[in-house]
C-alpha cells in the first residue's frame, strides 16, 4: 500500500539543505513527488510531498531518519500524513 506524507522543514539557510533531506528520503526507499522551497531573510523553508510503499519503509522510520538529519544540519523537520495536513489546512 502506498502512503503520502508532507515533510516540512525550517531553519537557517545554507548550502545543501535540500540535497541532504532528499538523500535521507531516498535512503528510506521513499520518493519526493513534489517540492517547494523558499529562502527569505536567511531562513530556509521547504514543503515536500513524499510517497512510499509501506512494505519498504514506515512513517515512523521515515520520521526518525529525518529527525536525525534535521539535528545534523540544523533544520526543524516535521512529517505529517497527507490526510492530517489537508484537514488542518483546509479553508
Per-residue pLDDT of the chain (91 residues; tens, 9 = 90+): 889 999 999 999 999 999 999 999 999 999 999 999 999 999 999 999 999 999 999 999 999 999 999 999 999 999 998 766 665 666 5
The pTM score is: 0.88
What is the predicted pLDDT for the residue at 87? 59
CATH of domain 2-88: 3.30.70.260
Name the residue ranges covered by the structural domains of the chain.
2-88
Whole-number pLDDT of residue 84: 67
> Which residues lie below 8 Å from residue 48, measured CB to CB, with a gap of 6+?
6, 7, 8, 9, 21, 22, 25, 32, 33, 34, 35, 36
CB-CB contact of 62 with 56 (8 Å): no
Q: Quick one: cell of 21? A: 533531506
Amino acid at each position: 500500500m502506498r502512503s503520502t506524507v508532507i515533510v516540512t522543514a525550517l531553519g537557517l539557510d545554507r548550502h545543501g539543505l535540500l540535497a541532504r533531506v532528499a538523500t535521507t528520503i531516498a535512503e528510506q526507499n521513499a520518493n519526493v513527488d513534489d517540492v517547494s522551497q523558499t529562502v527569505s531573510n536567511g531562513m530556509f523553508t521547504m514543503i515536500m510531498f513524499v510517497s512510499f510503499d509501506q512494505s519498504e519503509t514506515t512513517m515512523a522510520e521515515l520520521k526518525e531518519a529525518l529527525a536525525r538529519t534535521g539535528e545534523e544540519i540544523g533544520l526543524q523537520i516535521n512529517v505529517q500524513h497527507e490526510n492530517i495536513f489537508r484537514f488542518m489546512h483546509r479553508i
